[in-house]
Structure 1
Amino acid sequence: MTQAETTSRARVAVLFCVVTAGIVGALIGVALTATAPVPGVAQVSEVVSVSIPIVRVLLDISAVATIGLALLSVLVGYDRPKLSEPIMRIARPAGVAAALVWATTALVALILQTAEYRPGSSTLSISDVGSYIADVGAGKALLIVAVLALLHAGLGILALKHGEKVPAEVRVGLGLFALLPLPVTGHASNWNYHDYTMISMELHVMSAVAWTGGLGAMAVLLVGNRTLLAHALPRFSKLATLCLILGAATGLFNGLIEISLNPSLGFWEGVFTTPYGQLVLAKLLCTGVIAGLGAYTRWKLMPQIVRHNRTALAAWATLELTVMGLAFGFAVVLTRAPVVPTT
């Protein structure tokens, strides 16, 4: 088997693990939040109810890939074009494809959430989608995300032609900016601290996406290039540490606010008896595992990588990304889960 074939299989394995873990996490969340139908009340189709979190997982993962592939150029630097350009010739078209998937999944999510908003309708029209966009903040947010993702794809196409004359920092910045509307697309927010929780959620999303995207891009494209990996990984490690601290703090803050300010439940009852609390615990567990894996990479593998020694980074990074995918699946359902016990 050639090195190219091995690398190609590694790329497929990483993507498969992340997507599968994300979908599994979303399905676990759906199972936890399932409620019994109420007689006389129009019910949302089960297909729609299950499809929304799955599509949202794919939306999040495509956003991760888009931003991570743009971030890769920043991590490897611009001073070694003979080494970095072959990698970037793969990363740039992949980034365009990821941005197009991001835009597509945002539009599909918009249609599905319109169907959820109109549970009694057997068909949907363009006017129904337009009404959802006009009346519901989540509709506007998804449309904005789709437009910004398409704009990102346009910048990526320019980068295909002009290379780094289209600055990677601009593409990273646009990608992170496109994440800002995403917290609005959920409906689990406590209005007593709405402004604070929205800011916290946006910081949480951006830190998680930058962390996962950067690690994923390196795991897929740099593990076979020890020189670039030795340069990029220490730079990424600093970013990952910041993202871990920020992501853990904001995630914990959001969860505590949602649970503690629910007047109908005690705090510990909200943590252990509601699907929301259980998903918060699941995400915290994932965060702990990710932190442990990241620490192993930082303290055990990185010193060897800096010396250009062979390591098992690909396997460890794939494991870490798989847990991250699971956490993304939990998060998708968590943003839509009320803090009430299931019935």
Structure 2
Amino acid sequence: MTASSETAGTATASGAGRPEEAGTARKPENAGETGRAVETPGTGGPAPRARTARRLVTGGFVSGAVLAVLAATALTAEEAVPGIPLPGPLVEYGLPVLRVLLDLAAVAVVGLSVLPRLLGFDDEERTEPVLRRARPAAVTFAWAWAVLALAVIVFQTAELNPGTVPTPQMIAEYVNDVGAGQGMLFSAACALAYAGIGLLAVRFGEKVPAELRIVIAFFGLLPIPVTGHAVDSVWHDPIMISMELHVMGSAAWTGGLIAVIALVAADRELLARTLPKFSRLATLALVLVTVSGLVNGLASMALTRGVELPDAILTSDYGLLVVAKTVCVALLIPFAAHIRFRLLPRVAARQRTAVVAWAAAEITVMGLAYGAAVALTTASMS
């Protein structure tokens, strides 16, 4: 999961093609009265506010995630043991970066898939221009998701066979024998399926149900927890279900916020209708992500032989990353609360707010949490 993508061919939210408006730019005072996004005259591109919003949220998310995973990987790197080969720096650092970019691409796909349900379909004059940008962007991110998943398989094979360049036979054996490889291959297949259905949505619009795209995107997320730590216990299945709920809740919350801010924030009227719906979704996701994350982390340590709680929380790499991720989620609470209880009433009143800046800060912290989560999948518990 780069996660930013400028989408060409945007249409004005004011209903381009009306005879009385052809060839003329909308007056600024009219734009302020209606709350519609303003196109920059003569450029054909999105209004500067919309472009700035996209850069803030995507830049903060990607940079936060990549920096966090690199720092966590460096801090949790295994010490070399004589006679036991370790993967080289390219694999050691390249694999977690690919994994986190995969997560970011998947989050973008989920968010863009949820967006039609948040926008609603009762005002196509406003919503359709937004969705015409969202649909091809979702297809692009789905392709990126699939390619990154396949690249992760190659790097995972190299990690398992340090000092050698993976051959097609080695990769095939890895996928056949290792659950993590099978999970990544299934995830790539779901991403490709989404790209195909997404192309139909680009052609036929919302005649291709948003629910179908959401389901396929979530199916692609399901195998991702399989690539992390495995717990040999009767509680294995409940913990895996909890992990999958955690991954899906995180993707819906993060991806939904990115999609709303990047594509809707410049239109005050549309934002006033959309943000309250997302706020309810975000509240449920916050509870789900917080509870499932704590349960997963503590249960995985408690059920692993040789790990003693509570000492392992502060003495193991895994425990420290659980703490770091918990701190990130704790930091998200005041950001989310400020947006919901302080800014949302003003957004609903169609007033100018700093919601983009606050959301960008929240999304940057989310990126840090995603980086820590990827490092968590390979961190030592002992």
TM over 0.5: yes
**Which amino acid is the alignment partner of residue 175 of structure 2?**
I
RMSD: 1.3
Question: 2:62 aligns to what?
Answer: 19
**2:98 counterpart of 1:55:** yes
Q: Which runs of structure 2 are paired with 1:244-263 in the superposition (5 Å)?
A: 244-263=286-305
CA deviations 1:153-180 (Å, max 9, x no partner) are 1111101110000011110111011110
Contact in 1 for aligned 2:53/2:265 (Cα 8 Å): no
**Which amino acid is the alignment partner of residue 252 of structure 1?**
L
- Greater CA deviation, 25-34 or 3-12? 3-12
Contact in 1 for aligned 2:49/2:266 (Cα 8 Å): no
Question: 2:189 aligns to what?
Answer: 147
User: TM-score normalized by structure 1?
Assistant: 0.96
**Which amino acid is the alignment partner of residue 190 of structure 1?**
V
CA deviations 1:6-42 (Å, max 9, x no partner) are 4223312321111110011101210221121010012
Q: Which runs of structure 2 are paired with 1:214-253 in the superposition (5 Å)?
A: 214-253=256-295
1:226, distance to aligned residue in structure 2 (A): 1.2
CA deviations 1:77-99 (Å, max 9, x no partner) are 01110000111111111111111
**Which amino acid is the alignment partner of residue 191 of structure 1?**
D
- Identity percentage over the alignment? 44
Larger Cα Rg: Structure 1 or Structure 2? 2
Question: 1:138 aligns to what?
Answer: 180
**2:206 counterpart of 1:190:** no
Q: Secondary structure at the match of 1:191?
A: coil
Question: 1:111 aligns to what?
Answer: 154
CA distance in 1 between counterparts of 2:185 and 2:305 reads 34
**Which amino acid is the alignment partner of residue 167 of structure 1?**
P
1:267, distance to aligned residue in structure 2 (A): 1.1
Q: Name structure 1 gaps, 5 residues minimum.
A: none
Q: Secondary structure at the match of 2:310?
A: helix
CA distance in 2 between counterparts of 1:339 and 1:282 reads 15
Match of 1:7 among 25, 50, 56: 50
CA distance in 1 between counterparts of 2:307 and 2:183 reads 31
Question: 1:304 aligns to what?
Answer: 346
Question: 1:280 aligns to what?
Answer: 322
Contact in 2 for aligned 1:223/1:229 (Cα 8 Å): yes
Q: Secondary structure at the match of 1:280?
A: helix
Q: Secondary structure at the match of 1:267?
A: coil
CA distance in 1 between counterparts of 2:305 and 2:79 reads 23
User: TM-score normalized by structure 2?
Assistant: 0.86
**2:134 counterpart of 1:91:** yes
Match of 1:45 among 76, 79, 88: 88
CA distance in 2 between counterparts of 1:93 and 1:310 reads 29
Q: Which has the higher contact order (CA 8 A, sep 6+)?
A: 1
Question: 1:336 aligns to what?
Answer: 378
Q: Name structure 2 gaps, 5 residues minimum.
A: 1-38, 41-45
1:263, distance to aligned residue in structure 2 (A): 4.1
1:259, distance to aligned residue in structure 2 (A): 2.2
**2:214 counterpart of 1:172:** yes
Give the total of aligned pairs: 338
CA distance in 1 between counterparts of 2:49 and 2:118 reads 24
CA distance in 2 between counterparts of 1:173 and 1:113 reads 27
CA distance in 2 between counterparts of 1:191 and 1:298 reads 41
Contact in 2 for aligned 1:258/1:339 (Cα 8 Å): no
- Greater CA deviation, 143-152 or 189-198? 189-198
CA deviations 1:88-136 (Å, max 9, x no partner) are 1111111111111111110111110011111142x22111110110010
Q: Secondary structure at the match of 2:145?
A: helix
Q: Aligned in 2, Cα 1:334/1:88: closer, same or farther, shift over 3 Å?
A: same
